[in-house]
Amino acid sequence: MMRLPLFEFRAPRTLEEAAQILDGERANAMPLAGGTDLLPNMKRRQQVPRTLMSLRHIESLNRVALNDSGSRLGACLTLSDIAADPRFRNGLTALAQAASLVAKAASLVATPQIRNMATLGGNICLDTRCNYYDQSYEWRKSINFCLKKDGTTCWVAPGSSRCMAVSSTDTGPALMALGARVRLVSHSGEREVLLSNLYNNDGIDYIKRRPDEILAEVLLDSRGRSSLPSAGRYRCGKFAVRPPIKSASHRRSCRNCGSNSQAARQH
């Protein structure tokens, strides 16, 4: 049985308090939303933060604002929330379908409690995946670890100087096709980043969110809401959604989504 390492737990009630905690702790702390990815990673000793900071009690991160001028989606909305909410059927079909397919896939292998915990912000920021990385500490130690964590060799491509772990975000491709932006908040201020610019093509340094920043909201303008009425076939790491993508810009959306993502293509 794999156990969690020891950590300090913090549960701020406001975004300002959460940003202050991260500013003080920096790389020693990690924000915890649903925990469906982070907690298993901690059990495998892939990530060992000294402090876990829960975002679940911050009311502003659970809000939804949909209007004619655009949409603001709180980062702590769960994938079940998005899939079940009829408001996401009007102009945000791609996102609703992506969240729905994630929930349906999860329902075959997990419990309702786990399905209902995964959040939009957490899904966007998911760690990259690799068969050599997503193993227990003992398994990884037996191969002398890997380039992504504690080792010097990328076992996917031993001659490569770059980690080849792939993006595992499910909602990212649909949101990029919708022209989404994310609002990143820190103690020193906040900034908005186009989602397609948030990712790096590197399995280790895969995201441009700084350790002291919290992904607070996903922002969509009215043009983004109407630009993709149904989900196209995107391929991003492990996940795909289907019917047609006609726009070349939509086809390019997945190309920016983390390391080794395959460009979306029409079938």
pLDDT at 240 exceeding the cut of 80 = no
- At residue 1 the predicted structure's pLDDT band, cuts being 50, 70 and 90, is confident
Question: For the CA atoms of 61, 190, 254, 128, what is the dihedral angle to 10 degrees?
Answer: -70
Whether the per-residue pLDDT at 86 is higher than 70: the answer is yes
The 8-class DSSP code of residue 204 comes to S
Asked if the model's pLDDT at residue 17 lies above 70, the reply is yes
* Whether the predicted pLDDT of 254 surpasses 60: no
* Three-state DSSP state, 206: coil
CA distance 59 to 55: 9
CA distance 8 to 186: 20
Between 83 and 160, name the one with better pLDDT: 160
Q: Are 257 and 264 in contact (CB under 8 A)?
A: no
pLDDT for res 149: 95
Q: How many CB atoms lie within 10 A of CB 48?
A: 14
The secondary structure of residue 224, as a DSSP letter, is: H
Instruction: For residue 95, give the 3-state DSSP assignment.
Output: helix
CA–CA gap between residue 77 and residue 224 (Å, rounded): 19
What is the tens place of the pLDDT at every residue in 172-194? 888 998 899 999 999 999 999 99
Q: What gap in Å lies between CA 96 and CA 230, rounded to an integer?
A: 9
Give tens-digit pLDDT for 120-152: 999 999 999 999 999 999 999 999 999 999 999
> What pLDDT is stored for residue 22 in this prediction?
95
> What are the structural domain ranges in the chain?
60-129+153-256
| Selection from 111-115, 154-158, 230-234, 256-260 with the highest mean pLDDT | 154-158
As a CATH number, domain 60-129+153-256 is 3.30.465.10
Residue 224 has pLDDT above 60, yes or no: no
Alpha-carbon gap, residue 164 to 156, rounded angstroms:
7
Give the model's pLDDT for residue 238. Answer: 42
Mean pLDDT along residues 36-63: 95
**In this predicted structure, what is the pLDDT of residue 195?**
96
Structure confidence by residue, pLDDT tens digits, 35-49 = 999 999 999 999 999
- Closest by alpha carbon to 175, among 104, 109, 77? 77
